[in-house]
């Protein structure tokens, strides 16, 4: 998805579409690199998604989200990637963030859907734990004694 965003010179606020401000001649290369970093990360995430590397796609999107936290489209894609690689709790956390800026019924419905999946996973996990012998269940959670 290509997005064109207006870039404005941070010195004189003139609209700039090249790496040098047309008005005050400030070199904008570093500024534009930072400005467009989320878009570059977005494109890398799209490539990773195309390769079915959803975990990598999620990581790239998380970086983009950090740089542009108000872009809800990034968060929406983070939810999709997190669910695809099995990070259901992470997907829910992303949806919780998304809900604060987007009160649409679609987001609410998606939240309900993922939460239901999450609850089913928890239930399955509990049932599995109950059918296994105690010693096998607790080995990973054994606390180390402090000395």
**Site residues (vs Zn ion, CB under 5 A):** 9, 11-12, 14, 21, 23-24, 26
Q: Hey, what are 105's tokens?
A: 């019924």
Minimum distance from CB of 33 to Zn ion (Å)? Answer: 17
Cβ-in-10-Å burial (0-12, 13-18, 19+) of 109 comes to exposed
Minimum distance from CB of 35 to Zn ion (Å)? Answer: 14
Q: Which is nearer to Zn ion, 18 or 128 (CB)?
A: 18
Closest CA to 118 of 75, 49, 126: 126
Q: Which is nearer to Zn ion, 11 or 116 (CB)?
A: 11
- Give me the DSSP letters along 92-122: HHHHHHHHHH---HHHHHHHHHHHHHHHHHH
Minimum distance from CB of 123 to Zn ion (Å)? Answer: 59
Q: Which is nearer to Zn ion, 12 or 47 (CB)?
A: 12
Q: Are 78 and 61 in contact (CB under 8 A)?
A: yes
Q: Are 88 and 100 in contact (CB under 8 A)?
A: no
Q: Which is nearer to Zn ion, 23 or 126 (CB)?
A: 23
Minimum distance from CB of 16 to Zn ion (Å)? Answer: 7
């Amino acid at each position: 998805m290509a997005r064109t965003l207006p870039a404005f010179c941070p010195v004189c606020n003139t609209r700039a579409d090249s790496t040098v401000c047309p008005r005050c001649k400030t070199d904008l290369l570093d500024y534009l690199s930072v400005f467009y970093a989320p878009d570059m990360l977005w494109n890398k995430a799209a490539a990773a998604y195309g390769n079915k590397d959803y975990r990598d796609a999620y990581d790239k999107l998380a970086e983009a989200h950090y740089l542009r936290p108000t872009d809800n489209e990034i968060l929406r894609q983070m939810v999709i990637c997190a669910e695809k690689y099995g990070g259901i709790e992470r997907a829910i956390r992303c949806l919780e963030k998304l809900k604060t800026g987007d009160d649409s019924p679609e987001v609410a419905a998606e939240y309900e859907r993922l939460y239901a999946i999450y609850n089913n996973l928890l239930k399955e996990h509990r049932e599995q734990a109950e059918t296994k012998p105690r010693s096998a269940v607790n080995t990973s959670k054994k606390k180390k004694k402090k000395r």
